[in-house]
Chains A and B, each alone.
Chain A
Amino acid sequence: MSEKTFLGHGTIATFTVVRYPPIGFESESPYVVALIDIEDGPRVIGRVSGPLELMSIGKSVLFVGESRGALEFKLRG
């Protein structure tokens, strides 16, 4: 996606917490990356911000934008 795309809401299909990041992401870990099923839309991969302990399969997320080429979401509720 080369332009800012409004994805709306989605559900976490699965996720992980990256604790050993690749180059360039070291200062950010631990962080959550998830496969997200967009409501009435495709499955995408993106970062999810929010408390680690609240992350789980099935949780609702909201698209917040694109950053450095990656889709960013936040936990809803």
Chain B
Amino acid sequence: MDKQLDLLQGTLDMLILKAVSLGPLHGYGVLLRIQQISKDRLEIQQGSLYPALYRLEYQGWITSEWGESENKRKAKYYRLTAAGKRRFQAEAEKWNRMADVIAGILGTKPEEV
């Protein structure tokens, strides 16, 4: 149970970075954007979103400022920083490499060994 959480957490950070890289978003917007991109195939625990956002902000990969939402309400918007952009690229590359390796391993047939 614990290990799955770790993996998810790392992934969540990356997804958040991707989501805000497409333009500034408030917390709820991040959730909606990820669901939209993933075509609702990913189940995200809503409560876990905010600690992740706070952590990423604390680490300096995103910044926040208060602005006005579509329905004229005060909302906190998150934006990717330059450091966050580099971080996201590195993470994404690492993820892709990992995915390739895993896929390669899983796709191995008996005669190839």
Bound together:
no
Query: A residues engaging B (CB < 8 A)?
Result: none
Enumerate chain B interface residues (CB-CB to A < 8 A).
none
